[in-house]
Amino acid sequence: MCSLEKRGNLFILILTGQNGEHRLNPNLFSSIISALSRAKAQPTRGSALVTVSHGKFFCNGFDLDWVNAAGSDEETQQRFNLLLDYLKQLVLAFISLPMPTIAAVNGHAAAGGIVLALCHDYVLMRRHRSVLYMIDLDLGIKIPEPFMALFRAKISGSARRDLLLRGLKIKGEEALKMGIVEAVYDGEEEVTNAGIKMADDLAKRNWHGEVYAEIRKGLYSELCDILGIASIPIATPKL
């Protein structure tokens, strides 16, 4: 499902498992959220977290097989709603994480997988063999708040329209130009290493984790309002 590795001050969240598409179902969601709690519980000054995965996919969205395996239409809807709830919890957990976060997108990401990537402060991506695809439009699935708020918070201008309203399959260079990702790299190893290096550089800034999280919440205040969380003002400078 996922594992959390600690390397010095770095937390490395790895999407593992036979499920090559790393599709989000209750098990994987719980696993990630639990890993984030463990990271949060440790002293966080000068920490950083990088999320990596292996294989052709970063995360291909919700486990629709699991959703559709339900016994009835009603239960199918319930399962889908459950995944939406979990995704919301995931966004909450990332927004409140008291350290900088980086997603190293080694492969394809779709729908909920893009939300997962965008939960991070920084997104790095593979130049080739990696595509971002908001498949929701093509599947006829509405995107509810707070995920729309996340898109509004993280992506500006026509890039957001193009991501959500055109059903585009966005490759690395394009994602870079659109401002969705910070940088692109050739190869899975390169993007993973770049993610770890960036995490290391940010960790060295030795930021106070709690304050970092509160500044982040202030930065994404509309999203936080919709999630129902408030940012706490901290006025005592640690000079």
Partner 1 sequence: MCTLEKRGNLFILTLTGEDQHRFNPDLISSLLDLLSQVKAQATSGSVLITLAQGKFFSYGFDLDWAQAAGSERGAAKRLQDMADLFKPVIATLLSLPMPTIAAITGHAVAAGFTLALSHDYLIMRKDRGILWMPEVDIAVTLPDYINALFKEKIGDASVRRDLFLRGLKMKGDEAEKRGVVKAAYDGEAEVREASVCLAELREKEVAR
Residues that bind partner 1 (CB under 8 A): 100, 121, 153-157, 179, 182, 202, 205, 207-208, 211-212, 214-216, 218-219, 221, 231-239
Question: 20 or 218: whose CB is closer to partner 1?
Answer: 218
Question: 8 or 157: whose CB is closer to partner 1?
Answer: 157
Tokens at residue 22, please? 């790393």
120 vs 238: CA distance, rounded Å: 25
Q: How far is the CB of 53 from partner 1 (least distance, A)?
A: 23
Q: How far is the CB of 184 from partner 1 (least distance, A)?
A: 14
Q: How far is the CB of 94 from partner 1 (least distance, A)?
A: 13
Is-contact 23 60, C-beta < 8 A? yes
199 vs 122: CA distance, rounded Å: 10
Q: How far is the CB of 237 from partner 1 (least distance, A)?
A: 4
Q: How far is the CB of 223 from partner 1 (least distance, A)?
A: 11
> Which CA distances in Å does 88 have to 91, 119, 154, 191, 233?
5, 10, 16, 27, 24
Question: 182 or 190: whose CB is closer to partner 1?
Answer: 182
Q: Counting every residue, how long is the chain?
A: 239
Question: 46 or 55: whose CB is closer to partner 1?
Answer: 46
99 vs 209: CA distance, rounded Å: 5
Q: How far is the CB of 181 from partner 1 (least distance, A)?
A: 10
> Of 67, 68, 56, whose CA–CA distance to 15 is shortest?
56
Question: 41 or 235: whose CB is closer to partner 1?
Answer: 235
Question: 83 or 203: whose CB is closer to partner 1?
Answer: 203
What is the separation of C-alpha 84 from the centre of its chain, rounded to a whole number of angstroms?
14
Phi, psi dihedrals of residue 171, rounded to the nearest 5°: -85, 175
Q: How far is the CB of 219 from partner 1 (least distance, A)?
A: 5
**E strand spans, 71-197:** 101-105, 108-110, 122-126, 131-133, 169-171, 183-185
Is-contact 109 132, C-beta < 8 A? yes
Question: 15 or 134: whose CB is closer to partner 1?
Answer: 134
Cα R_g (the chain), whole angstroms: 17
